[in-house]
């Protein structure tokens, strides 16, 4: 008769705590999933914590192939960090979706950190909530790299996330698309965490954000190559606790 | 750069770094990479002048420390970042480790220059992907210990200390 390992007799809460220490060790986590069902249950959330989708990470990570197997196994709700990488010639747009893909994408119901490169906001308008609505209750951190859209569209997108605390905008060059002044954000997110701006050249975007969100309340700021720095420092005069400086910032040249 | 090597000229855009209105400011952060890779005295001068200027505008009563942030890329042990799951780690020889400690000690010269601006403490924060964490914290602690033994922090109100904030990925 096969002997049962004493490890399998440990309470699940204890197993979870032990396996959580392997959070960064993918190979050990994979080994745990093959041990027994309780260990599988404890290890699998750590294995699927991050989901990266983009051509630059190889064929396995391509959209929508990356979503399918994880959706089939019912694991998409375990994803906490989602990074979708569009590219300059292939922006993340509404054309990436059909009804099946949207169904799979909507299963990402617990994402807390959402990162999108080359998001083409105009292509999702006006039914943008149909595509991103499932993120609204959970996303606390948003990172947009090279988003395409007018000031109002970018602010509208940010304002979709009612619990958003942290905001990271990268490469927003000057040059304005037609601004839709009738577009107002759904929510005023708390935005009390950190603001990270890298190569942001649209002062008007920052002004609109301050106006439409009724001021800014960030406690932590990281600004590199940003136009409108005094505006942001002034807007957060009473809340800013930590500022990250870059001595090599081109703005101090 | 509009800051001259001897610090006599201050660029008008430095006015962008006026922190006199920020009354809740507790700390400034600097990326280690912006100090570690300074190759000449001129660039060290320019950087310390910039930081001195910014520190001189701080009026917050809460202000007490300068935090230097280290990423995994500030250490020899990792070579590539393109693999999203696991960057390659490599073995480090004793000689390379000693060289790495020495390289980090060199940036303490910048600490000495900006410490004159006002009293505050230095925190070296390793914000690093977990598998590299233990190695990088060890390097920083060794660099501080060697610098302290050589009197590099004489006159400081407190010796710089190391903290570790693990990241759940190296990206």
Chain B CB contacts of A240 under 8 Å are 22, 24-25
Tell me: pLDDT of A160 over 70. Answer: yes
Interface residues of chain A, partner chain B, Cβ below 8 Å = 23-26, 49-50, 52, 57, 61, 81, 83, 219, 222, 229-230, 233-234, 236-248, 251-253
Mean pLDDT of chain A: 89
Q: Best mutation site among A25, A245, A246, A249 for testing chain B: the one with the most B CBs within 10 Å? A: A245
Neighbouring-strand partners of residue A244: A222, B29
Q: What tokens appear for B75 in the block?
A: 């250490």
Asked whether residue A138 carries a pLDDT value surpassing 80, the answer given is yes
In a domain, A109, yes or no: no
In this structure, the dihedral spanned by the alpha carbons of residues A148, A153, A156 and A158, taken in order and rounded to 10 degrees, is 20
CA distance B45 to chain A (A): 11
Among candidates B13, B34, B85 on the partner chain, residue whose Cβ is nearest the Cβ of A26: B85
- Domain of A239 in residue numbering reads as 163-253
Burial annotation B4-18 (CB, 10 A radius, 16+ → b, else e):
eeeeeeebeebebbb
Nearest to A243 among B29, B35, B69 (CB): B29
Contact assignment for B166 to A24 by CB distance below 8 Å: yes
Confidence of residue A182 (pLDDT cuts 50, 70, 90): confident
Record: contact B84-A61, CB cut-off 8 A = yes
Q: Is the pLDDT of residue B8 over 80?
A: no
Residue A126 has pLDDT above 50, yes or no: yes
The pTM (predicted TM-score) of the whole model is: 0.84
Per-residue confidence (pLDDT) for residue A184, from 0 to 100: 87
Range of weakest confidence among A73-87, A210-224, B122-136: B122-136
Task: Give chain A positions within 8 Å (CB) of B35.
Answer: 247
What are the residue boundaries of the structural domains of chain B, listed by start? Answer: 21-164
For A51-108, the pLDDT digits (tens) are 999 887 788 889 988 999 999 999 999 999 999 999 988 999 999 999 999 999 999 9
Give how many domains chain A has, as a whole number: 1
Identify the burial level of B29 via C-beta atoms within 10 angstroms of its C-beta, where 0-12 means exposed, 13-18 middle and 19 or more buried. Answer: buried
Minimal CA separation from A125 to chain B, in Å: 30
Q: Do B168 and A49 touch (CB under 8 A)?
A: yes
Q: What is the structure's pLDDT at B165?
A: 86
CB-nearest to A247 from B34, B84, B171 is: B34
Note the pLDDT tens digit of each residue in B64-99.
Answer: 899 999 887 788 765 555 444 555 566 677 888 888
H or E element that contains B163? strand B161-164
A116-141 average pLDDT score:
94
Closest C-alpha to A187, from A136, A115, A131: A136
Contact A240 B11 (CB under 8 A): no
Would the ipTM clear 0.85, i.e. be above it?
no
- Asked if A52 and B34 come within 8 Å (Cβ–Cβ), the reply is no
Residues 47-86 of B with CB under 8 A from A: 47, 50-51, 54, 62, 67, 69, 84-86
Which pLDDT value is given to residue B11? 45
Token pair 């994979």: residue: A30
**For residue B3, which residues of chain A lie inside 8 Å, CB to CB?**
252
- Cα nearest neighbour of B84 on chain A: A57
Residue B38 has pLDDT above 70, yes or no: no
**Is it true that the peptide bond before A126 is cis, omega within 30 degrees of 0?**
yes
- Residue A216's Cα: distance from chain center in Å? 20
């Amino acid at each position: 008769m096969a002997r049962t390992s004493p490890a399998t007799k440990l309470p699940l809460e204890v197993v979870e705590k032990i396996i959580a220490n392997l959070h960064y060790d993918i190979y050990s986590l994979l080994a745990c999933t093959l041990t027994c069902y309780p260990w599988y249950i404890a290890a699998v959330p750590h294995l699927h914590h991050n989901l990266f989708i983009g051509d630059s990470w190889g064929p396995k990570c391509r959209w929508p192939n990356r979503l399918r197997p994880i959706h089939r196994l019912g694991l998409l709700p375990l994803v906490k960090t989602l990074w979708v990488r569009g590219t300059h010639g292939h922006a993340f747009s509404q054309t990436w979706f059909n009804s099946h893909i949207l169904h799979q994408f909507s299963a990402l119901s617990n994402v807390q950190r959402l990162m999108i490169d080359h998001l083409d906001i105009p292509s999702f308008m006006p039914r943008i909530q149909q595509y991103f609505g499932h993120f609204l209750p959970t996303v606390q951190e948003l990172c947009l790299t090279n988003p395409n859209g007018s000031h109002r569209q970018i602010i509208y997108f940010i304002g979709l996330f009612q619990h958003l605390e942290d905001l990271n905008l990268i490469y927003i060059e000057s040059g304005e698309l037609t601004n839709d002044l009738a577009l107002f954000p759904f929510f005023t997110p708390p935005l009390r965490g950190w603001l990270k701006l890298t190569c942001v050249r649209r002062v008007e975007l920052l002004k609109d954000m301050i106006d439409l969100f009724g001021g800014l309340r960030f406690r932590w700021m990281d600004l590199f190559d940003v136009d409108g720095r005094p505006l942001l420092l002034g807007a957060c005069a009473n809340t800013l606790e930590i500022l990250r400086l870059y001595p090599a910032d081109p703005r101090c040249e | 750069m509009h800051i001259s090597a001897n610090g006599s000229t201050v660029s008008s855009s430095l006015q962008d770094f006026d922190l006199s209105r920020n009354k809740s400011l507790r700390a400034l952060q600097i990326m280690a990479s912006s100090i570690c890779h300074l190759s000449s005295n001129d660039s060290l001068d320019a950087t310390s002048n910039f930081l001195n200027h910014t520190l001189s505008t701080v009026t917050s009563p809460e202000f007490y420390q300068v935090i230097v942030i280290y990423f995994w890329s500030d250490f020899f042990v990792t070579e590539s970042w393109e693999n999203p799951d696991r960057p390659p780690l490599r073995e480090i020889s004793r000689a390379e480790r000693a060289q790495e400690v020495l390289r980090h000690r060199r940036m303490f010269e910048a600490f000495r220059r900006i410490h004159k601006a006002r009293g505050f403490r230095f925190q070296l924060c390793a914000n690093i992907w977990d598998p590299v964490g233990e190695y990088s914290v060890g390097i920083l602690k060794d660099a501080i210990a060697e610098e302290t033994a050589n009197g590099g922090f004489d006159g400081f109100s407190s010796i710089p200390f190391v903290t570790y904030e693990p990241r759940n990925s190296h990206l």
